[in-house]
Amino acid sequence: MPPITPAPTGDTADDLAAVNALRELADQLEDAAVERALREGWSWAQIAAALGVTRQAVHKKHLRRVEQANIDLRRRNG
Amino acid sequence: MVEHQGRSNRFEEQAFRVDMRAAIGVAQVEASNRGSSTIEAEHLLLGFLFDRTSPATQALAAAGLTYETFDAALRAEREQTLAAIGIQLPDPSRLVATRPAARQLRFGASSREIWENGMRSFRSRRARAQRPTPTDFVSAILATELGTVPRALVHTGLDRNALLAALGTVSTTSG
């Protein structure tokens, strides 16, 4: 097929853009909800279970970021 | 300062340049403030537009594109894009989170494309200048065919070709 130049808007472009926007929204929602859970006293294991991922994955993704927040991360089971 | 053509000259390495430093710094903060994990083309454009005194910004403002109009357009694009699949953005208070330091953010895929396109147009100009100017990169951003930037520009109601033409009037040595 010869190359085409799709328009940035239209059904297909809109759906692809929606995927991009959903990923952004999912990331932001995850950051916010994980932090809120930690402030409410959730353990890393509980957050991971609610997210459907491993504890290691949550740790890796969020620990560095939330260490800068004012949350007591000591003595937290799992 | 001698530029080594063979070495990659990505945005990270350009941040030291006096004429790029502020724009890249603002782009980092914009990405961070918007909860993005990477710096994308739309953040770079916000960064360049933030300096109202730059020749490129003044040319674009005269054509109707400012930091404020682009910021509003980005928001409108996001809302419409998600609404089209039935998603309404939650209250902003549910998206509040501690952000990583802005300077830790990496440049994303759309930034890399802007870099390459900006460098390509700079070389094709056979410019007498030693290196690309901010205007080269702003042109590259506005010329983007697909993704968030052209979609947001649709929301401004401005003619993209008119914006590029306005940039064309900016001196290539000062811009």
Please indicate if any CB of chain A lies within 8 Å of the CB of B94: yes
Report pLDDT digits (tens) over B130-139.
778 889 999 9
Note whether B86 and A18 are within 8 A (CB).
Answer: no
Report pLDDT digits (tens) over A6-50.
999 999 999 999 999 999 999 999 999 999 999 999 999 999 999
pLDDT at B113 over 60: yes
The widest CA-to-CA distance across chain B, in whole angstroms, is 53
Is ipTM over 0.90? no
Close Cβ partners of B117 (under 8 Å, ≥ 6 residues apart): B140, B143, B144
Note whether B143 and B117 are within 8 A (CB).
Answer: yes
Please indicate if any CB of chain B lies within 8 Å of the CB of A17: yes
Cβ pair A6:B146 closer than 8 A? yes
Residue type, B51: D
The pTM for the full model equals 0.89
Nearest to B160 by CA among B73, B48, B50: B73
Please indicate if any CB of chain B lies within 8 Å of the CB of A57: no
Report pLDDT digits (tens) over B29-76.
999 999 898 999 999 999 999 999 999 999 999 999 999 999 999 999
Q: What is the pLDDT of residue B1?
A: 45
Cβ pair A24:B36 closer than 8 A? yes
pLDDT at B6 over 50: no
Residue B82, number of CB atoms within 10 A of its CB: 18
